[in-house]
Amino acid sequence: MNKKMAMVLMLVGVYFLSGPHATAQTATGEKAATSQSDQVVSDQDIQLLRRDIRSEKKQIIAANLSLTATEATKFWPVYDQYQAEYKRIGDAKVALIKEYAQSWGTITDEQALIYLRRSQDIDASVIQLRNKYAPLVSQVLPGKKTATFFQLVRRIEMLLDVQLASQLPLMQSQDQ
């Protein structure tokens, strides 16, 4: 399997991390996904997987954040707003990974630095989003529950980021 295909399949694999989904295992244990036409996973497939992840993320938060009925009524609309903004950041991350996969093997030093800057901008956007929503969540939840919410969100994001990082080949390895 070429590296471009592996990176796109890895992207899909990242979305399988949060729960049981149908995947195939290769001899090396690498996750693979196929469509009926055996082509690279479509944007529509990726969007469906991302929607599943968002749903499972919400379920994990609901199961681990003890809310009263009054708190839940106030919290979930704020969460949905947060998640809508987070989705835009995720869109940027998916776009960057797809560009990286398409350019694999031909990336110049200048392009590598551009990818690095864009990746750092995405990370900064996530931090800015958390900073924006911390006071909003704290208006509808007490301090411990606000902190617990952000701990849960961060843990889920870190799990996905670790899976992603472990699957993306290092930039320098394209020269080998």
Cα-based distances in Å from 107 to 11, 53, 165: 19, 31, 18
How many other C-beta atoms lie within 10 A of the C-beta of residue 165?
9
- Which structural domain, as residue segments, surrounds residue 165? 52-175
109-129 per-position pLDDT tens digit: 999 999 999 999 999 999 999
Asked whether residue 139 is assigned to any structural domain, the reply reads yes
Asked whether residue 79 is assigned to any structural domain, the reply reads yes
- The arithmetic mean of pLDDT across residues 96-105, rounded, is 85
12-27 per-position pLDDT tens digit: 444 443 333 333 333 3
Number of domains the chain contains: 1
Asked whether residue 58 is assigned to any structural domain, the reply reads yes
**172 vs 57 pLDDT, higher one:** 57
131-154 per-position pLDDT tens digit: 999 999 999 999 999 999 999 999
**11 vs 91 pLDDT, higher one:** 91
- Distance (Å, whole) CA 146 – CA 35: 41
From the centroid of its chain, how far is CA 58? 14
Cβ–Cβ under 8 Å, residues 82 and 133: yes
pLDDT of residue 8: 42
Asked whether residue 112 is assigned to any structural domain, the reply reads yes
Asked whether residue 29 is assigned to any structural domain, the reply reads no
pLDDT of residue 175: 63
Buried b (16+ CB within 10 A) or exposed e, 58-70: eebbeeebebeee
CA-CA-CA-CA dihedral for 63, 162, 101, 130, to nearest 10: 60
Asked whether residue 34 is assigned to any structural domain, the reply reads no
Asked whether residue 97 is assigned to any structural domain, the reply reads yes
Asked whether residue 18 is assigned to any structural domain, the reply reads no
pLDDT of residue 6: 44
